[in-house]
Amino acid sequence: MTLYASGHGWELHAGDSLERILDLPRGHFDALITDPPYSSGGFTRGDRAQSPGTKYLTSTSGNHDATAHFQGDNRDQRAFLLWSSIWLSRGLAVCRPGAIVGVWTDWRQLPTMTDAMQVGGWQWRGIGHWVKTSSRPQKGRFAAAVEYLVWGSAGAMDNAGTGNGVCAPGAYFEAAQVLESSPQERVHMTQKPDKACEWSLGVVPAGGVVLDPFAGSGSTGVAALRMGLRFVGIEAEPAYLEIAAARLRDAEREVAGRLPGLAMPQQRNLFGADEGGA
């Protein structure tokens, strides 16, 4: 396991999530909450093959040079379904029975992601909505003002003993998209607002361990620490590893003294040798 950085209640690992998930202890995580590359931004293969900056950044998005690009966002529909099914299946193996899964997606990939979740072995349970009330209008069209959180569980959920006792709202309303009012603070081109990330963690058990295989700038981890949850993230892009580690350290200081420690148990790797968690 390539441990990049860690602190009290969190770890950040470097590498491709398809490989790194295999290193994690089985049955250890209470939730898998993530915002993977959508491979979206158009209707054709040529549209998806454009760089993330071309697809997702606009003239109002702030300094383009301030956000690093990322890989894996140009798969066609079949490849996206297969790839998502693989990492969701591997994520299921490291989560405990009844664990929560929540995956962000947009309207183009919503049907594919609901399929991928089920192919990956999870029980699909519903769709949450992030309503962006400041979305850019387009005359003659319905505004593309919603992103989605496809959620489910690792098998059956015990209503009496699973979750944090809260009925989380099915939608989160945000007056502005990611830091549009303060573009200089934007550190990832597809960054979710902190409050939207906290909403996505709304039914994770108190004190639980959250896995994010596509940690990006660490927004899910920051939200998790602020909510008293523990966090393990995986990220492939070196620039975002540095950003995420800094943000997680800041969040750790913010919640100092209120966060349980993170213990990664011993596990057995694919070749049969005992291996201690990072």
Determine the angle formed by the axes of helices 77-93 and 110-119, rounding to 10 degrees: 40
**E strands along 133-275, which residues?**
146-153, 171-174, 209-212, 230-235, 267-268, 274-275
pLDDT tens digits for range 139-188: 898 988 899 999 999 999 876 545 667 789 999 887 655 544 444 466 65
Alpha carbon distance 17, 184 (integer Å): 29
pTM: 0.82
Domains located in the chain, CATH noted: 3-275 (3.40.50.150)
pLDDT tens digits for range 34-87: 999 988 755 555 555 555 544 444 444 444 344 455 465 678 889 999 999 999
